[in-house]
């Protein structure tokens, strides 16, 4: 697929994730010439569908889910390429494992009966207030408020707010909020700025939508062919001779009328406009001449990298289903598990659990450990939570593993953050306005710059559309 021939184009698109692929397709549709330049040796960015060794099937080590109600852009790509979707398995009970080692079960999306009224009132207050305050954010103009009415909640963090509201460690509310926050951001509730979270809540239609696996939840549908099929179809729709893989951009030199993009191998591509889709924390890999303005530099330096490792474990039998569980374990315990989901491929006889270890769970899991030590720690944690929920005598099934796969996204070259890059406490109003600022001929894209579903595939496609529109208009095409 790496076949770039041109040395002079209208638009150079840097990064072949969903943002870059979409931007290149839009630019092509407008009749402009372009080059799509990717550091890694494949297209798709954070998407990583992996072939299983034991059966003819695939699993997702990167993104999995889409929603056909709230995410029209990615849905239309999936449907447009005639790919199928499967509904997330939702029968049975989920398990919440608290930081003091207790396990409580509840149907998907519902509150456990054992949660106290006082605890639920505190949780409800946090969820409602953050959603209401989120409405004040102008998602089209990052860092600004609708009608200038600033939020009442200060830009501290969800962790601080939980403390102020008296959410106690060990409670259901603590487990739910901590694990959800870690899974969404790859960072602990004390690390991400409250205003970054509020803006995300507005972009993603609130907590139920963000954390839900139901018909309007972000974890509702997945693509059995593998989400990589979408990226491959998009790449196949690009004109021959337009893609360069495995050759990172190292320099962007801007002159008055055009820009030169130089890659590690020494290739120079002259472009009238550049669309940079890499997330801001990776700008450090590129030497900009002239240097980036201070606002962009500050953004790049202060962007927080999410810490997530995703593990896929496959089994011959769905031991969780057999005991009335849906394979969703949500944990604030000391082990590596933050959240799990079942991802099983009907009619293949293989059942999978997808496991996120994020934020502080990532730190303890990954720090100085070998792959085999991590595998042992993961299975022990899973067995411990399962055993606490259904009885210790039943937990041995957890160790009957067929395949064990993991991907550390924090260490992934040129990506280096997952699932999303964030802005910390007190920094949103100062840093966010620079997200989409154009610098000379360079336009900025990538999911973190989106006005809908930032951090998600939908946001990546939205940001590719937006940046392409900017350059197409400037180059006089419609």
Ligand X SMILES: Cc1cc2nc3c(=O)[nH]c(=O)nc-3n(C[C@H](O)[C@H](O)[C@H](O)COP(=O)(O)OP(=O)(O)OC[C@H]3O[C@@H](n4cnc5c(N)ncnc54)[C@H](O)[C@@H]3O)c2cc1C
Q: Is residue 341 within the footprint of ligand X (CB under 6 A)? A: no
Minimum CB separation of residue 278 from ligand X in Å reads 3
Q: Is residue 174 within the footprint of ligand X (CB under 6 A)? A: no
Minimum CB separation of residue 139 from ligand X in Å reads 16
Stretch that binds ligand X, among 58-66, 100-108, 172-180, 290-298 (CB under 6 A): 58-66
**Would you give the binding string for ligand X spanning residues 289-328, x where CB under 6 A is met?**
-------------------x-x------------------
Q: Are 452 and 465 within 8 A, CB to CB?
A: no
Q: Is residue 167 within the footprint of ligand X (CB under 6 A)? A: no
In the sheet with 65-66, reading across from the earlier edge strand, the strands are 65-66, 221-222, 86-87
Q: Which residues contact 255 (CB under 8 A, 6 or more apart)?
A: none
Q: Is residue 435 within the footprint of ligand X (CB under 6 A)? A: no
Return the number of the residue (136 or 454) whose C-beta is nearest ligand X.
454
Q: Are 288 and 249 within 8 A, CB to CB?
A: no
Distances (CA, A) of 20 to 36, 46, 356: 7, 12, 26
Return the number of the residue (123 or 249) whose C-beta is nearest ligand X.
249
Preceding omega of 431 cis (within 30 degrees of 0) = no
Q: By C-alpha distance, which of 417, 309, 327 is closest to 92?
A: 327
Q: Which residues pair with 406 in a beta bridge?
A: 311
Q: Is residue 18 within the footprint of ligand X (CB under 6 A)? A: yes
Radius of gyration of the chain from Cα atoms? 22
Q: Is residue 70 within the footprint of ligand X (CB under 6 A)? A: no
Q: Are 460 and 19 within 8 A, CB to CB?
A: yes
Return the number of the residue (265 or 364) whose C-beta is nearest ligand X.
265
Return the number of the residue (141 or 264) whose C-beta is nearest ligand X.
264
Instruction: Identify each DSSP E strand in 245-370 by its residue range.
Output: 249-254, 259-263, 268-276, 287-289, 304-305, 308-315, 325-331, 339-342, 351-358
Return the number of the residue (163 or 216) whose C-beta is nearest ligand X.
216
Q: Is residue 338 within the footprint of ligand X (CB under 6 A)? A: no
Interaction residues for ligand X, span 220-279 (CB under 6 A) = 248-249, 277-279
Instruction: Identify each DSSP E strand in 343-469 by its residue range.
Output: 351-358, 403-408, 421-422, 442-444
Minimum CB separation of residue 321 from ligand X in Å reads 22
Minimum CB separation of residue 461 from ligand X in Å reads 8
Separation of alpha carbons 208 and 188, rounded Å? 20
Separation of alpha carbons 333 and 146, rounded Å? 39
**Would you give the binding string for ligand X spanning residues 200-219, x where CB under 6 A is met?**
--------------------
CA 91 to chain centre: 25
Exactly one of 4, 26, 32, 62 binds ligand X (CB under 6 A); that residue is: 62
- Applying CB under 6 A, what is the total number of residues that bind ligand X? 40
Q: Is residue 468 within the footprint of ligand X (CB under 6 A)? A: no
Q: Is residue 38 within the footprint of ligand X (CB under 6 A)? A: yes
What are the residues binding ligand X (CB under 6 A)?
14-20, 37-40, 45-47, 62-65, 248-249, 277-279, 282, 285-286, 308, 310, 409, 414-415, 418-419, 446-447, 455-458, 460
């Amino acid at each position: 697929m790496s076949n770039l021939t041109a040395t002079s184009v209208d638009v150079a698109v840097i990064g072949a994730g969903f943002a870059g692929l979409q931007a290149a397709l839009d630019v092509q549709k407008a009749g402009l010439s372009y080059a799509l330049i990717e550091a890694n040796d494949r297209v798709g960015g954070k998407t990583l569908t992996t072939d299983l060794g034991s059966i003819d099937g695939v699993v997702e080590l990167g993104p999995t889910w889409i929603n056909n109600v709230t995410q029209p852009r990615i849905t239309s790509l999936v449907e447009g390429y005639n790919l199928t979707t499967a509904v997330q398995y939702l029968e049975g009970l989920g398990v919440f494992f608290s930081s003091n080692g207790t396990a409580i079960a509840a149907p998907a999306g519902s509150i456990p009966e054992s949660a106290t009224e006082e605890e639920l009132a505190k949780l409800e207050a946090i969820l409602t207030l953050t959603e209401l305050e989120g409405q004040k954010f102008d998602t089209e103009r990052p860092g600004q408020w609708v009608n200038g009415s600033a939020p009442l909640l200060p830009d501290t963090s969800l962790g601080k707010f939980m403390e102020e509201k008296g959410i106690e460690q060990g409670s259901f509310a603590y487990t739910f909020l901590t694990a959800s926050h870690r899974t969404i951001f790859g960072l602990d509730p004390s690390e991400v700025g409250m205003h970054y979270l509020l803006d995300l809540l507005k972009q993603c239609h609130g907590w139920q939508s963000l954390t839900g696996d139901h018909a309007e939840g972000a974890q509702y549908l997945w693509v059995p062919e593998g989400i990589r099929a979408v990226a491959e179809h998009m790449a196949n729709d690009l004109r021959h001779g337009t893609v360069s893989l495995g050759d990172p951009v190292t320099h962007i030199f801007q002159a008055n009328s055009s820009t030169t993009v130089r890659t590690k191998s020494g290739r120079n591509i002259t472009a009238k406009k550049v669309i940079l889709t890499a997330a801001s924390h990776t700008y450090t890999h590129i030497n900009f001449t002239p240097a980036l303005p201070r606002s962009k530099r500050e953004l790049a330096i202060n962007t927080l990298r999410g810490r997530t490792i995703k593990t896929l474990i496959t089994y011959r039998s769905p031991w969780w289903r057999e005991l009335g569980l849906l394979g969703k374990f949500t944990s604030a315990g000391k082990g590596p598990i933050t959240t799990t989901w079942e991802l099983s491929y009907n009619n293949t006889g293989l059942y999978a659990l997808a496991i996120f270890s994020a934020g502080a769970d990532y730190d303890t899991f990954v720090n100085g450990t070998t792959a085999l030590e991590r595998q042992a720690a993961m299975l022990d944690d899973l067995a411990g939570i399962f055993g606490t929920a259904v009885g210790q005598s039943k937990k041995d099934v957890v160790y009957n593993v067929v395949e064990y796969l993991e991907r550390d996204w924090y260490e992934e070259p040129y990506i280096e953050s997952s699932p999303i890059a964030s802005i910390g406490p007190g920094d949103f109003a100062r840093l966010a306005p620079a997200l989409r600022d154009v610098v000379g001929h360079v336009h900025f894209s990538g999911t973190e710059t989106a006005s809908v579903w930032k951090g998600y595939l939908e946001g990546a496609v939205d940001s590719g559309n937006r940046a392409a529109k900017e350059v197409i208009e400037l180059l006089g095409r419609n």
